[in-house]
Structure 1
Amino acid sequence: MNKYMSYMHDNADESPLYLFDRAFAEKTGIDITAAPHSKEAAYWSPTCFGDDLFSVLGEHRPDCRWMIMGPKRSGSTFHKDPNATSAWNAVLTGSKYWLMFPAGPDIEPPPGVIVSDDQSEITSPLSIAEYMLTFHELARQTPGCKEGICYAGEVLHVPSGWFHLVLNLEDSLALTQNFVPRKKFPDVLGFLRDQRGEVSGFKEDVCDRAYELFVERLQEQHPDLLEEGHAELEKKGKKSRSKWEQLTKGDEKEPVGGFSFGFGGDDDDADIP
Structure 2
Amino acid sequence: MTTSLMLILSRKSSHCIFFDSKFGEKALQLAADYDIPVYFREDLFSILGNDHPDFRWLIAGPARSGSSFHIDPNSTSAWNAVVRGSKKWLLYPLEVVPPGVHPSPDGADVASPVSITEWFHELLWGDTAAQGETCGVYLSGRRNLLNVLEFLNRPNSKELVSGTMDCVNLYEKFQSKYEQLFPGSIESLQQQAEARKLQNQKACMWDTITDVKTGGFKFGFS
Decide which of 135, 140, 143 is 1:183's aligned counterpart.
143
Task: Tell me: CA distance 1:81–1:266, structure 2 relative to 1, closer, same or farther (3 Å).
Answer: farther
* Preserved CA contact (<8 Å) 2:17 2:61: yes
- CA distances 1:119-144 after superposition (whole Å, capped 9, x unpaired): 443223422232234323xxx6xxxx
Instruction: Return the offset for 1:197.
Output: 4.0
* Preserved CA contact (<8 Å) 2:101 2:112: yes
* Preserved CA contact (<8 Å) 2:158 2:167: no
Structure 2, unaligned runs of 5 or more = 1-11, 208-222
Alpha-carbon distance between aligned partners in 1 of 2:84 and 2:190, rounded to the nearest angstrom: 42
The amino acid that maps onto 1:200 is V
* Preserved CA contact (<8 Å) 2:55 2:163: no
Q: What is the aligned partner in structure 2 of residue 22 from structure 1?
A: 21
- Normalising by structure 1, report the TM-score: 0.60
The amino acid that maps onto 2:130 is Y
Q: What is the aligned partner in structure 2 of residue 151 from structure 1?
A: 130
The amino acid that maps onto 1:114 is H
Decide which of 48, 57, 70 is 1:66's aligned counterpart.
57
- Classify the secondary structure of the residue corresponding to 1:188: helix
Q: What is the aligned partner in structure 1 of residue 169 from structure 2?
A: 209
Residues matched between the structures, number: 192
* Preserved CA contact (<8 Å) 1:15 1:127: no
User: Which runs of structure 2 are paired with 1:53-132 in the superposition (5 Å)?
Assistant: 53-104=44-95, 107=96, 109-132=97-120
Q: What is the aligned partner in structure 1 of residue 122 from structure 2?
A: 134
Q: What is the aligned partner in structure 1 of residue 212 from structure 2?
A: none
Q: What is the aligned partner in structure 2 of residue 176 from structure 1?
A: none
Instruction: Return the offset for 1:182.
Output: 1.4
Decide which of 39, 43, 47 is 2:34's aligned counterpart.
43
- Classify the secondary structure of the residue corresponding to 1:228: helix
The amino acid that maps onto 2:47 is V
* Preserved CA contact (<8 Å) 1:79 1:122: yes
Structure 1, unaligned runs of 5 or more = 1-12, 33-40, 141-146, 161-179, 244-263, 268-273
* Preserved CA contact (<8 Å) 1:21 1:68: yes
Greater relative contact order (Cα < 8 A, sep 6+):
1
- CA distances 1:222-244 after superposition (whole Å, capped 9, x unpaired): 224333244456x28x86xxx8x
Instruction: Return the offset for 1:265.
Output: 5.3
Alpha-carbon distance between aligned partners in 1 of 2:175 and 2:94, rounded to the nearest angstrom: 25
Alpha-carbon distance between aligned partners in 2 of 1:266 and 1:216, rounded to the nearest angstrom: 40
Alpha-carbon distance between aligned partners in 2 of 1:49 and 1:198, rounded to the nearest angstrom: 27
Instruction: Return the offset for 1:19.
Output: 1.4
The amino acid that maps onto 1:219 is E
Q: Which has the higher strand share?
A: 1
Pairing 1:220–2:208 present? no
* Preserved CA contact (<8 Å) 2:86 2:129: yes
Q: What is the aligned partner in structure 2 of residue 4 from structure 1?
A: none
The amino acid that maps onto 1:131 is W
Instruction: Return the offset for 1:199.
Output: 3.6
- Normalising by structure 2, report the TM-score: 0.73
Range with greater deviation from structure 2 (149-158 or 122-131)? 122-131
* Preserved CA contact (<8 Å) 1:15 1:128: no
Alpha-carbon distance between aligned partners in 2 of 1:190 and 1:112, rounded to the nearest angstrom: 26
* Preserved CA contact (<8 Å) 1:15 1:73: no
Stretches of 4+ moved more than 6 A in 1? Answer: none
Question: Percent sequence identity over matched residues?
Answer: 38
Q: What is the aligned partner in structure 2 of residue 261 from structure 1?
A: none
